[in-house]
Amino acid sequence: MHWSAMAVAAAPYSAAPAPDATGPTSFEDATEKATNAAGWVQENWGNWVESGLQIVLIVVIAVVLRHVVRRTLTRLIDRMNRTANAAQGTALGGLLVNAERRRQRSEAIGSVLRSVASFVIMGTAALTVLSVLNINLAPLLASAGVAGVAIGFGARNLVTDFLSGVFMILEDQYGVGDEIDAGVATGTVIEVGLRVTKLRGPNGAIWYIRNGEVKRIGNLSQGWATAHVDVQLAADQDLERAREVITAAGEEMSKAEPWNEQLWEPVEVLGLSEVSLETVTLGLSAKTMPGKAGGVERELRWRVKQALDRAAIRLAPRPEPEEEDGEAADPSAAVAAPSALNNPDSPQSLAAAPIARPKLGK
């Protein structure tokens, strides 16, 4: 009895669980951990300060470099515009330089260059900062590449318009004030953008043309233009006399203001372009300033008409419209063809005659 009671009394003490290792620690353990943390901070403090200073230096250099590059490009573009404006005041510069065209072209090129410079500088700075922070750039660059491909496919029309606009401006295919034929529309260029070109049509309408949709461009304002006029004379007129009169009218026009600047070569009589029994057509041609062919043609027609009238040289008569035949119509045209039924004594008429109703007797 005595040993069994002692065993039962001792059982609870022997089965008690051991203290938890994660439980409250002693003062010595806490002191040791704090000492280790302080030592780790002290060891890495120099690296943190160094990395922070590197990041600040990289950002400062990037911002300053971006500002300097953009300011340099802006000054360069302003200088180009001032040079164009100065040349615009001279006689030769007025013919060869379009200040508004040069301004818009230089502004567009400057905008592209500034954007590219900002993207390259700030992008390089961002990648450098990430490398200082010991961040693996391979997954980031791979993700950026996939995202760029996806955006490129989704916005391919926008990218096409932008790239086409850049090359149009760099190659100087057309500019403000040029008369162009873009295929989808024809008119005068009033604004050149990286994505859209604005044209003023002949009827005053403004056309917005996406640069990526332009497959061909006919510039009617570069180099020189040709004014072509056809003069129709009566077939019995003296052609040699007409040639002399027209040539004299062209020479007089080339000496008058403002046609002396717009006519770059004398008016030339090309010869006969059409010959018929009643009329002959003389072709006139003159090389003019770009974009001025229409006005030269109208003035040349005016002066040639007055010169021919003074020389008593008749122009071709206007063809009269064909008149309708005034004779009376054939009266027999409305008469029906002869028929046997027209004769009441014919067998056909007798056979077709109704049977008379018999008379009823009383």
pLDDT tens across 270-283, in order?
888 888 888 888 88
Distance CA 114, CA 266 (A): 48
Q: Is the pLDDT of residue 91 over 50?
A: no
Q: What is the pLDDT of residue 60?
A: 92
Is-above-0.75 flag for pTM?
no
Share of the chain above pLDDT 90, in %: 4
Is the pLDDT higher at 212 or at 349? Answer: 212
Determine the residue type at 139.
P
Is the pLDDT higher at 296 or at 150? Answer: 296
SS3 18: coil
Q: Between 99-132 and 156-170, two packed helices, what is the crossing angle to 10 degrees?
A: 130
- Whether 101 and 176 have beta carbons less than 8 Å apart is answered as yes
Q: What is the pLDDT of residue 46?
A: 64
Q: Determine the average pLDDT of the residues in 15-31.
A: 55
pLDDT band at 17 (very low <50, low <70, confident <90, very high): very low
- Produce one character per residue of 263-284: b if its CB has 16 or more CB atoms within 10 Å, e if not: bbeebebeeeeeeeeebbebeb
pLDDT band at 64 (very low <50, low <70, confident <90, very high): very high
Q: What is the pLDDT of residue 63?
A: 92
Q: Is the pLDDT of residue 79 over 90?
A: no
Bond from prior residue into 258 cis (ω within 30 degrees of 0) = yes
Q: What is the largest CA-CA distance in the chain?
A: 171
H helices present in 16-154, as ranges: 27-88, 91-96, 99-132, 137-154
CA angle 112, 113, 117 (to 5 degrees): 120
- Whether 181 and 213 have beta carbons less than 8 Å apart is answered as no
Token couple for 132: 């200082």
Out of 7-16, 217-226, 232-241, the most confident range is 232-241
- Whether 247 and 269 have beta carbons less than 8 Å apart is answered as yes
Q: What is the pLDDT of residue 68?
A: 92
Q: Determine the average pLDDT of the residues in 8-15.
A: 42
SS3 224: coil
Is the pLDDT higher at 224 or at 343? Answer: 224
- Whether 308 and 232 have beta carbons less than 8 Å apart is answered as no
Q: What is the pLDDT of residue 187?
A: 87
Residues in the chain: 362
96-136 pLDDT, tens digit per residue, is 445 666 776 777 778 778 888 888 898 888 888 888 888 77
Q: Is the pLDDT of residue 261 over 70?
A: yes
